[in-house]
Chains A and B, each alone.
Chain A
Amino acid sequence: MNLFRSEQHAKRWNEWEESMAQTLHPVEWWIETFRNPIFRNRSRPDYLTWLATDEGTSATMEFAHRLEQ
Chain B
Amino acid sequence: MAALWVTTYGGIVVETELDVTYAAIMDEIVATGVAPHYAELAPLLQISPEEVLRRINRIMAMTPGWMAPGTDYIASFPPFNNQPTPYRISVRGDQRWFAQCGFEALACCWMFPGETVSIDAPCLLGEEPLHLEMKDGDLLLSEPATVVGYTRSRLGMQEPDQPFR
Contacts and interface: CB of A to CB of B under 8 A. Distances in A.
A42 B79 contact: yes
Interface residues of B, number: 52
B111 interface: yes
Interface residues of A, number: 40
B144 interface: yes
B128 interface: yes
Interface in B112-165: 113, 119, 121, 123-125, 127-128, 130, 132, 134, 137, 139, 142, 144, 146-153, 155, 165
A61 interface: no
B100 to A, nearest CB: 8
Contacts of A12: 125
Given A16-B152, A24-B150, A48 B139 contact: no
A10 B153 CA distance: 14
A28 B150 contact: no
A1 B165 contact: yes
A17 B150 CA distance: 10
A56 to B, nearest CB: 11
